[in-house]
Chains A and B, each alone.
Chain A
Amino acid sequence: MKLSGLFNVALFLSVVWLPACQKKPEVPPPSLPKVERPVHVLNFKTGTTLTIRIPRQTLVERGGVPGVFVLSQDGRARFRMVRTGRFLASQVEIMSGLLGNETLVRGDLTAVHDGSPVTVIKK
C-alpha cells in the first residue's frame, strides 16, 4: 500500500552554537535541569504522510529507550520515545512516536537531558 509520500527532513531553520556546556551543579536545582548544550534545531513540515524519516544523528537512546529530542514551546529539549524502522544511509525511518509537525534537536546530544533548555538562534 502506497502512502501519501515520504517525509523528509531537510530544512535547517537555525543553527545554534552555545558556549561549552556548563558544569552540572552537584545538587540539582529543585525545578528544572539547567544543562545547556550546543544543538542544531531542525524543523519538519507538517504533512499527511505516515512515513517519517529523520537524520540518524537526531536519534538518541536514554535508559535503553530510543528517542529524539523535540523542541518544546517553552524552548526545551523534550525526550520523545520513537519506534525505529529501517536504517538508511543518513536517515532512519520512524514508525511511531512522531506526528510530523515537531522540531527536532540535533547535534552533540550526549549531555542533553529531557527538559534541557535550548536556545534557538535564527540563522
Chain B
Amino acid sequence: MARHKTSDVPGNGNDLNLAGRTARYFINSKLTLLIMLFAFLAGVFAFLVTPREENPRIIVPAANIFVQKPGASPEEIQQLILKPLEAILQGLAGIDHTFGLAMNSQGVVSVQFRVGQDKEDSLVKLYDRIMSNIDRMPPGTLQPLIKPADVDDVPILTISLSCAAADDCHLRRVANTVLEHLRRVEGTSLSYVHGGRRRAINVSLDLERMHAYNVSLADIRRVVDATNVEIPSGAFVGGNRVATVQAGGLLKTASDVGNLVVALAAHRPVYLKQVAMITDGPEDIERAHRIGYGPAHAGPRPADFEVPAVTLALAKRAGTNAVTVAENVLAELERLKPLLIPPEVHVNITRNDGAKANDAVNTLMEHLAIAIGTVVVLLVIFLGWRAASIVTITIPLILFITLAVGLIAGQSINRITLFALILSLGLLVDDSIVVIENIFRHYTRESADRLRQAVEAVNEIGKPTNLATLTVILAFLPMFWVTGMMGPYMAPIPFNVPVAMITSLIIAYTVAPWAAYRFLHVHGQEGEGLEHHGPGWLERGYGALLRRLLDSSLARRGFFLGVIVLMLAVLTMPVFDMVLFKMLPKNNTNTFNVTLDMPEGTTLEETDRVSRLAGDVLRQHPQVETYETSVGESGVIDFNGLLRGAGLKSGSHVAEIRVNLRNKHERRDSSIDIVLDLRPPLAELAKLTGASIKLVEDPPGPPVRATLLAELYGPDYRELRKIASELRTAVFKKTEDVVDVDDSVTDDYTEYHIVVNREKAMLVGITPSQVAETLRAFLAGVDAGMVHLEFEKEPVPIRFRVPAGDRTGPSDLSKVFFISPQGRRVPLIDIARVDSHVTPKPILHKDQYPVVYVTGELARTSQVYAVLKMWNYLSDNPLPSGVKLQQYFLTDPETTGYGLRWDGEMRLTLDVFRDLGSAFAVAIILIYLVLVGYYRSFAIPLIVMGAIPLTVVGVLPGHAVMGQYFTATSMIGVIALAGIVVRNSLLLIDFILEYRRAGHGLDEAVLQAGITRLRPILLTAFAIILGTFIMIFDPVFGGLAVSLIYGTFASTVLTLLVIPLIYFLYEKRRDVAASATSD
C-alpha cells in the first residue's frame, strides 16, 4: 500500500471542512498513534486514581444552632429565641430552609443552605450573622452553639467491638486506643467512638448521712472546686537557674476525692467518703449499645443473642478515595488486632462505604464490559470483523478519555457516572460507524488514491455528523440546571454524555480514518459485512412498503391515521393507571434502619426491652447478618439520617437499630422484600408495646425527611396538633400501603414543677437559684471538675449523684435540704411546693411558620398515588372535627386558615419532573434553533423533530409491559431519545436532500435515502438497545433502559416511515404551491 505524507494529501484546507481537515492531518500522522497511547494511559490512570463513590457527592451545607435559656417554656423559646433567630437568618444569602424547634429551656434552629453552596463560605457567613446579632438575644440566654452538619463528617467506616465478658467502659477504652492508631491513617478525617461508657469518679451521695452531719451539696461542691486546682505560680530564680513553681493540689484518684474534708461536725472533720460512696468506674447508664447476630452471620458468634458493643466511626477527608482510605484503615486494624484488641473482643466491620462504592463501581464496570461486548458482536454482524474491529478500538479510547476528563474536572467514579457511560455507549459508536461506512462507500468506487478517498469520505459526512452529535449534546446539557439535591445527583449524566460525544467525534475524525485507511479493504473477505450497500431482503421489504405509501394516498392516510390513533391510545395509558409514576424506585441495599420511638417519658430500660424484642424479630430473618442497637440515642449517623435530622434524636425513649444484611450478591431476596417481610411482625410488636417502629430504607436518590410529609399550617398551634392527630388516624392510616405513620406531636407525660415560695425562701436566706442548682444535682447529677489522670484518653469527671433508689418520685424531694446562712437546716418542702402537670410540648417552625408534621412511608407502591388519594379525600371531605384543609403543593400556604402542604418525596418528584420537563423543553428549543441554522428553513427542522413525539409510542407501553414505574430516570431516557431520534431523522433528511441535489425526483430521492439509511439507522438502534439492555434489571436505572429500548425501537420503526412521508408531503405541497404561483 502506498503511504502518503500528510502534506501530500489533497486539499490544502480551503476546500475541506473541519472534519475533513482533521482527518487529513491525522490520517497518516504518527501523532494518531500517540493520541491512542496517551488516551489509553490517561484512561488507566484515571480509572485507578479517580475517587470512587457509590453515589455522587451532594454538598448541602447545613448547621444546627442551639440556644439555651434555662427555665423558659417552649412558647417563650418560640417568641424570644426562635423568631428573632429566624429573623436574623432571614436575610442571609444562600439559605434554602430554616427549621425551628422550641423545647423546654432550649431552642434549635437548623439551617439548610441551597444545594451546591460553598460549605466554608456558608458556615462563615452563618457564624458572622449570628455573632454580630447576639445582642438581639434576650437576657439570660446562653452563648449559642453552632454545629455544622457536614456531609463529609458522615463515617464511611464503622467497626464494632463487642464482648460479653468485659464491661462497656473497658470496651470503650480499647476502642479509644485502637482509634488513636486508626485516625493516623492518611485520608481519614472525623473519627469517634460511639457507645460504651466513659470512666468517672462517681460520688453517690448518702442523703441520710449528709443530713446527720449537716452537710449540704453546696458545701461539698465548694470544697471540691476549691481543692481541685493547680496553678502555675511563677518561678524561683537563683544560682543562674530558674525553677518553676506550681501551687495547688489536683485530685488524681477516687480516694483523693473520698478523703476531702467537706465540713466540720462537732469539731471533727467530715470526710466526703463519710457522706457518700465513691467509686471509680463507668458513668451511669444513659445509653446502651449492642450488636446482635442473625442467621446470615458466618463468623464466630458469642453465646449471647446480643452483646454490648462500641463502634469506631471514621469519616474520610473530602476528595479522597473512600476505597483506599477504608482499605488502609482495615489493614491497620488487622495489624493492631493482636497488639491492642483482647482475644475475647469480637471485631465486625459493620459499615464500609469504600467496599460498597468499589462493589457498585465494579459491578457497573462489568455491566459496561458486557454492554461493550454485545455492541461489538452486533458490529461484527453488521459491519464485518475488520470494520467492527476499528469501531471496537475506538470504544475504550473514548471511555478512557471521558474518565480522564472527569478526573481533571474533579468528578468521582460513581454509579451515575457509569450509567452515563453505558447510556452513551450506543451513541458514541455511531460517529465512527458513519465515518467508516462512508470511507467504505468511497473505497467501493474504483480509485487508486485511498488516502484522498478516505479524507473526502470524512469531509462529506462531517457537517451532518457534527450536527447530529451536537443535537445529542444539546439534549443532555439542560439537565445541568436541575435544581435541588437531584441536580448534583444527576450531574454526571449531562457531564459525561456530552464529553463522551465530543470525544467520539474527535476519535471518529482522527483514529477511525487512520485505522480505516490501513485496515479496511473492499475486495476479498475483508469487507464482507460492509457489502450491505447492495439491497438485501430488509431493504427490499422496506422499499416496497415505502413505495406503496408514497404511491397511494389512501394507504398513506390510513398509515397516518393508524399512527395518530396509536399515539392517542398510548397517551391515555397513564389515565388508566397502566403506567405509574414515581420519583425513583427503591434500591436493593445491604442495610436499613429500624427506628423506635417510645412514648415520651419512657425509661431507658423499657426502651431497651422493646429494642431487644425488635432484635428478636430481626434475628429470625435468614438474611440478617448483624444488627446494631443504640438505645437512648441514634446510631452512627449516615447520609440519610443526617438530612432527616436523625442525629438530633436522643433521650431515654428513642432507639435505633441498623440492620446489616447478607451481601446482596449472595442473596436472592431484595432488601425491599426483606423489609416487607419484617413489617408485619414489627407492626405487631409496635401495637403490643405502644412504640412507634419505623423501617427506614436507604433512598435510591437524595434523602428526604419522610416519603410522605404533610406540613400543617394554621393560626392556632394547639388546634394544629389536634388536626395532625386527626389527619394521622382518619386519613394517613386509612390510605392503602401507607405505613410507619407518625406525627411531630409528642405524647403527654408528667412534669413536676417545684415552685419556690420566694418569701419563705428569702426569709431563711435561700435563693431560688440555689434550689434549682441543688435539685439539678439531686436528679440529674452534676460534674464538679475532673480527676487528673495522665494516661486517660478521655476526661474523667467527678460526678455527684443521688442513688436512683433515693429519687424515684416527688416524695423523695423531702430528703433535700439546704443549710441557711445561719447554719440552720432548711428542708426543701418548707420553702417550695411540688406541682404536677403535662409537659409543655415542643413547637416546630419551618421557614418561620409554625408547623406540625404528619409523616408516613410507602411499603411498596409510589407516593404519587397515595398523595393523590389523600389529596382527593381531603378536597371532598373535612376532617372529623369539621376542619377543612386547604391543600398546597408547590406554593406557600396561606396561614390565616388551616392549610396542608405536601412535601417529602412528592415535592421532590414534582420538582424533579418539573426541572426535567423544563430541561426537555429547553433541549428541544436548542435543537430546533441549531437545525434552523443548518437547514436555513423553519419547516424542515420541524419534520426532523417530528420523530421526537414518536418515542412516546414505545416509552409508555414499554413501562407497562415491563411493570416498571415511569421514574426520573425514565424521563432522562426520554430526553436522551430526543437527541437520538433527531440524529436518525436528520441523517435521513440529509440523504434525501443529497439525492435531490444529485437530480433524483422527489419519490425516488425519498425512497433511495430511506433504503440507504435503513441499515445504519437500524445499527444505531440495535447498538442503543443492546448497549442499554444490561441496565434494565437495575432497580433505579431500569426506567432509563426501558425508555431507551422501547422508545428507540418504536421511534426507529416509525421514523423510517413517518419522516420520509412527511417530508414527501411537505415537498409535494411546496411544489404544488410553487406551480400554482408560477401559473
Tell me the A residues contacting B by CB distance below 8 Å. 1, 24, 27-28, 30-33, 35, 51, 61-66, 78-87, 93, 95-97, 113-116
Q: How far is the CB of A52 from chain B (nearest CB, A)?
A: 11
Which residue, of B170, B303, B809, B811, has the highest number of chain A Cβ atoms within 10 A? B303
Q: Which of B170, B282, B300, B612 contacts A78 (CB 8 A)?
A: B612
Which of B90-98, B600-608, B869-877, B1025-1033 contacts its partner? B600-608
Q: Evaluate contact between B288 and A81: CB separation under 8 angstroms.
A: yes
Q: Evaluate contact between B308 and A65: CB separation under 8 angstroms.
A: yes
Interface string of B165-207 (1 = CB under 8 A from A): 1111111000000000000000000000000010000000000
Please give, as numbers and ranges, the residues of chain B lying within 8 Å of A116 by CB-CB distance: 303
Contacts A83-B603, A96-B604, A97-B605 given; indicate if A113 touches B804 (C-beta within 8 A). no
Q: Evaluate contact between A96 and B304: CB separation under 8 angstroms.
A: no
- Residue pairs across A and B with Cβ atoms less than 8 A apart, 7 shown, are A51-B808, A80-B609, A83-B804, A85-B803, A85-B805, A95-B603, A95-B805
Chain B residues touching A, range:
35 or more
Q: How far is the CB of B633 from chain A (nearest CB, A)?
A: 15
Contacts A81-B605, A82-B605 given; indicate if A63 touches B805 (C-beta within 8 A). no
Q: Which residue of B lies closest to A34 (CB)?
A: B303
Provide the bound-state CA to CA distance between A16 and B399, in Å: 72
Which residue, of A32, A63, A80, A82, has the highest number of chain B Cβ atoms within 10 A? A63
Contacts A31-B295, A35-B303, A81-B609 given; indicate if A113 touches B164 (C-beta within 8 A). yes
Provide the bound-state CA to CA distance between A81 and B655, in Å: 14
B878: Cβ under 8 A from any A Cβ: no
Q: How far is the CB of A108 from chain B (nearest CB, A)?
A: 15
Contacts A65-B288, A84-B805 given; indicate if A27 touches B168 (C-beta within 8 A). no
Please give, as numbers and ranges, the residues of chain A lying within 8 Å of B282 by CB-CB distance: 64
Contacts A27-B300, A78-B612, A113-B303 given; indicate if A93 touches B288 (C-beta within 8 A). no
Q: Evaluate contact between A28 and B168: CB separation under 8 angstroms.
A: no
Provide the bound-state CA to CA distance between A57 and B612, in Å: 23
Contacts A64-B168, A84-B805 given; indicate if A1 touches B608 (C-beta within 8 A). no
Q: Which residue of B lies closest to A61 (CB)?
A: B167
Please give, as numbers and ranges, the residues of chain B lying within 8 Å of A61 by CB-CB distance: 167
Interface string of B794-820 (1 = CB under 8 A from A): 000000000111101111000000000
Interface string of B957-989 (1 = CB under 8 A from A): 000000000000000000000000000000000
Q: Evaluate contact between B604 and A28: CB separation under 8 angstroms.
A: no
Q: Evaluate contact between B295 and A30: CB separation under 8 angstroms.
A: yes
B45: Cβ under 8 A from any A Cβ: no
Interface string of B619-648 (1 = CB under 8 A from A): 000000000000000000000000000000
Contacts A27-B300, A31-B295, A97-B605 given; indicate if A62 touches B308 (C-beta within 8 A). yes
Q: Which 4 A-B pairs have the closest CB atoms?
A: A64-B167, A85-B805, A63-B308, A97-B605
Q: How far is the CB of B346 from chain A (nearest CB, A)?
A: 11
Provide the bound-state CA to CA distance between A66 and B163, in Å: 15
Q: How far is the CB of B307 from chain A (nearest CB, A)?
A: 7
Please give, as numbers and ranges, the residues of chain B lying within 8 Å of A78 by CB-CB distance: 305, 612
Q: Evaluate contact between B302 and A28: CB separation under 8 angstroms.
A: yes
Q: Which of B167, B301, B808 contacts A63 (CB 8 A)?
A: B167
B285: Cβ under 8 A from any A Cβ: yes
Q: Evaluate contact between A63 and B163: CB separation under 8 angstroms.
A: yes
Please give, as numbers and ranges, the residues of chain A lying within 8 Å of B608 by CB-CB distance: 81, 97
B597: Cβ under 8 A from any A Cβ: no
Interface string of B307-347 (1 = CB under 8 A from A): 11000000000000000000000000000000000000000
Provide the bound-state CA to CA distance between A35 and B305, in Å: 12
Cross-chain pair count, CB within 8 angstroms: 105
Q: Evaluate contact between A64 and B606: CB separation under 8 angstroms.
A: no
Please give, as numbers and ranges, the residues of chain B lying within 8 Å of A83 by CB-CB distance: 285, 603-605, 804
B431: Cβ under 8 A from any A Cβ: no
B430: Cβ under 8 A from any A Cβ: no
Q: Evaluate contact between A84 and B308: CB separation under 8 angstroms.
A: no
Please give, as numbers and ranges, the residues of chain B lying within 8 Å of A81 by CB-CB distance: 285, 288, 604-605, 608-609
Q: Evaluate contact between B804 and A85: CB separation under 8 angstroms.
A: yes
Q: How far is the CB of B1049 from chain A (nearest CB, A)?
A: 49
Q: How far is the CB of B652 from chain A (nearest CB, A)?
A: 9
Q: Which residue of A lies closest to B162 (CB)?
A: A63
Contacts A81-B608, A113-B304 given; indicate if A64 touches B197 (C-beta within 8 A). yes
Please give, as numbers and ranges, the residues of chain B lying within 8 Å of A64 by CB-CB distance: 166-170, 197, 282, 308
B306: Cβ under 8 A from any A Cβ: yes
Please give, as numbers and ranges, the residues of chain B lying within 8 Å of A93 by CB-CB distance: 805
Provide the bound-state CA to CA distance between A75 and B171, in Å: 31
Q: Which residue of A lies closest to B305 (CB)?
A: A115
Please give, as numbers and ranges, the residues of chain B lying within 8 Å of A66 by CB-CB distance: 285
Please give, as numbers and ranges, the residues of chain B lying within 8 Å of A79 by CB-CB distance: 304-306, 612
Q: Evaluate contact between B285 and A65: CB separation under 8 angstroms.
A: yes
Please give, as numbers and ranges, the residues of chain A lying within 8 Å of B285 by CB-CB distance: 65-66, 81, 83
Please give, as numbers and ranges, the residues of chain A lying within 8 Å of B295 by CB-CB distance: 30-31
Q: Evaluate contact between A28 and B303: CB separation under 8 angstroms.
A: yes
Please give, as numbers and ranges, the residues of chain A lying within 8 Å of B169 by CB-CB distance: 64
Please give, as numbers and ranges, the residues of chain A lying within 8 Å of B303 by CB-CB distance: 24, 28, 33, 35, 113, 115-116
Q: Evaluate contact between A28 and B606: CB separation under 8 angstroms.
A: no
Provide the bound-state CA to CA distance between A74 and B307, in Å: 20
Please give, as numbers and ranges, the residues of chain B lying within 8 Å of A97 by CB-CB distance: 603, 605-606, 608-609
Chain B, 771-810, CB within 8 A of any chain A CB: 803-806, 808-810
Q: How far is the CB of B653 from chain A (nearest CB, A)?
A: 12
Q: Which residue of B lies closest to A114 (CB)?
A: B304
Q: How far is the CB of A1 from chain B (nearest CB, A)?
A: 5
Please give, as numbers and ranges, the residues of chain A lying within 8 Å of B304 by CB-CB distance: 33, 62, 79, 113-115
Q: How far is the CB of A110 from chain B (nearest CB, A)?
A: 11
Provide the bound-state CA to CA distance between A51 and B1025, in Å: 71
Provide the bound-state CA to CA distance between A35 and B809, in Å: 40
Please give, as numbers and ranges, the residues of chain A lying within 8 Å of B609 by CB-CB distance: 80-81, 97
Provide the bound-state CA to CA distance between A117 and B606, in Å: 23
Q: Which residue of A lies closest to B306 (CB)?
A: A114
Please give, as numbers and ranges, the residues of chain B lying within 8 Å of A31 by CB-CB distance: 295
Q: How far is the CB of B560 from chain A (nearest CB, A)?
A: 67
Q: Evaluate contact between B197 and A95: CB separation under 8 angstroms.
A: no
Interface string of B276-314 (1 = CB under 8 A from A): 000000100100100000010100111111111000000
Contacts A28-B300, A30-B295, A64-B197 given; indicate if A96 touches B606 (C-beta within 8 A). yes
Q: How far is the CB of B991 from chain A (nearest CB, A)?
A: 68
Provide the bound-state CA to CA distance between A61 and B154, in Å: 34
Please give, as numbers and ranges, the residues of chain A lying within 8 Å of B308 by CB-CB distance: 62-65
Provide the bound-state CA to CA distance between A31 and B279, in Å: 39
Please give, as numbers and ranges, the residues of chain B lying within 8 Å of A114 by CB-CB distance: 304-307
Q: Which residue of A lies closest to B167 (CB)?
A: A64
Q: How far is the CB of A13 from chain B (nearest CB, A)?
A: 22
Q: How far is the CB of B531 from chain A (nearest CB, A)?
A: 63
Provide the bound-state CA to CA distance between A31 and B301, in Å: 9
Q: How far is the CB of B994 from chain A (nearest CB, A)?
A: 72
Q: Which residue of B lies closest to A93 (CB)?
A: B805
Provide the bound-state CA to CA distance between A84 and B304, in Å: 22
Q: How far is the CB of A90 from chain B (nearest CB, A)?
A: 16
Q: How far is the CB of B707 from chain A (nearest CB, A)?
A: 33
Provide the bound-state CA to CA distance between A84 and B805, in Å: 7
Provide the bound-state CA to CA distance between A64 and B163, in Å: 11
New A-B pairs, 7, CB < 8 Å, besides A79-B304, A79-B306, A116-B303: A27-B300, A28-B300, A32-B305, A35-B303, A64-B170, A79-B612, A115-B305
